[in-house]
Amino acid sequence: MKFVETAEKAAREAGKVILAGIGKVKDVSFKTLPSNLVTEVDKKSEEIIIDILLKDFPDFDVLAEESGSSSTKNSEFMWVIDPLDGTTNFTHSLPIFSVSIGLVKGNDVIAGVVYDPTRDHLFHAELGKGAYLNNKKLHVSKVKDIKKALLVTGFPYNVEQNPDHCFERFIKMTSESRAVRRLGSAAIDFAYVAAGIFDGFWEVKLNPWDIAAGYLLVKEAGGKITNFAGEESDIYNKQVLASNGFIHNKMVELLAEAEHIKITL
Ligand code: IPD
Ligand code: CA
Ligand code: CA
């Protein structure tokens, strides 16, 4: 479909600029906090993506991390863009980052692309047509026992000021599952749930650009996404729990139990 084709093209072009920028970052600045970085590569990547998307779809609205919202066209379509998901990793030359482009129509994400330029992994999904990695169909894992599950999470940039049980949840999940990872690119976390690599992923305070494409990947690969209470959630929700479906209720239970843990430092 043309939407995915154009999003793929944009993601690949942005990926070239990101790869070329590894180890050469000149200008790192902070957003709200010293832990929340932005580089000239985030901005360049976003420019390239928006240019390519709007060339093919000039009437669509755009919500992009670095330039914000241009929802001025009143279109029923909106591109939701994270031009570099994993900026901290990128800044430190840790090769775990991605480009994430989702297309929203009304309340639905109808297309999504997550591109990992280091591995040349192109994940794409279209509503009702499945999720794919380099054109190979994806399915979530079949793991049913949390003790055999490999999970992933992330921490918000303001975790120090507002921990919001993040550490308690990490402890709980680590002690109940096979292991918990923390990769630093939410879009890749979602994509790996879709690919059956991770069995579950949870995080708080993500933004729509972190979620949109990955949300569709997980759903189209047969997975489940809710808030921490197990209720239906969308890309604007501040709690995300994505899983293979089988371990979902157990994860909901553990996330709730974690709130009663007392950490003494
Ligand atoms: C971040 C990554 C990270 C997640 C943070 C995000 P950015 O995005 O997705 O995995 O833990 O909450 O903000 O800032 O690198 O685009
Ligand atoms: Ca992000
Ligand atoms: Ca980003």
Among the four given CATH numbers 3.40.430.10, 3.30.540.10, 1.10.3720.10, 1.20.59.10, the one describing domain 2-137: 3.30.540.10
- If you count DSSP H runs as helices and E runs as strands, how many of each does the chain have, helices first? 7, 15
> Who has greater pLDDT, 208 or 263?
208
Please name the residue whose Cα sits nearest to atom 8 of ligand 1.
85
CATH 3.40.190.80 boundaries in the chain = 146-260
pLDDT band at residue 71 under the 50/70/90 scheme = low
pLDDT band at residue 73 under the 50/70/90 scheme = confident
Quick check: 164 pLDDT over 80?
A: no
CA of residue 223 to ligand 1 center, whole Å? 21
CA of residue 264 to ligand 2 center, whole Å? 31
Q: Is the CB of 141 under 6 A from ligand 1?
A: no
Exposed e or buried b per residue across 118-149, where buried means at least 16 C-beta atoms within 10 angstroms of its C-beta: beebbbbbbbeebbbbeeeebebbebeebeeb
Report percent pLDDT > 70 for the chain.
Answer: 98
| Alpha helices by DSSP H, the chain | 2-21, 40-56, 87-91, 166-176, 186-194, 208-220, 248-258
Please compute the mean of the pLDDT values over residues 164-169 and round it to a whole number: 88
pLDDT band at residue 33 under the 50/70/90 scheme = confident
Q: Which of 153, 148, 178, 185 is nearest to 168 (CA)?
A: 153
Ligand 1, residues 206, 209, 235, 240: which to mutate, most atoms within 8 A of Cβ?
206
Residue with tokens 């001025």, as numbered in its chain: 72
CATH 3.30.540.10 boundaries in the chain = 2-137
pTM for the structure as a whole: 0.96
CA of residue 17 to ligand 3 center, whole Å? 14
For residue 265, the tally of other CB atoms under 10 A from its CB is: 3
Q: Is the CB of 206 under 6 A from ligand 1?
A: yes
Please compute the mean of the pLDDT values over residues 50-61 and round it to a whole number: 96
Please compute the mean of the pLDDT values over residues 41-66 and round it to a whole number: 96
Among the four given CATH numbers 3.50.50.60, 3.30.1330.10, 3.40.190.80, 3.40.50.1700, the one describing domain 146-260: 3.40.190.80
The predicted-structure confidence for 80-115, as pLDDT tens digits, reads as follows 999 999 999 999 999 999 999 999 999 999 999 999
Predicted local distance difference test score (pLDDT) of residue 31: 74
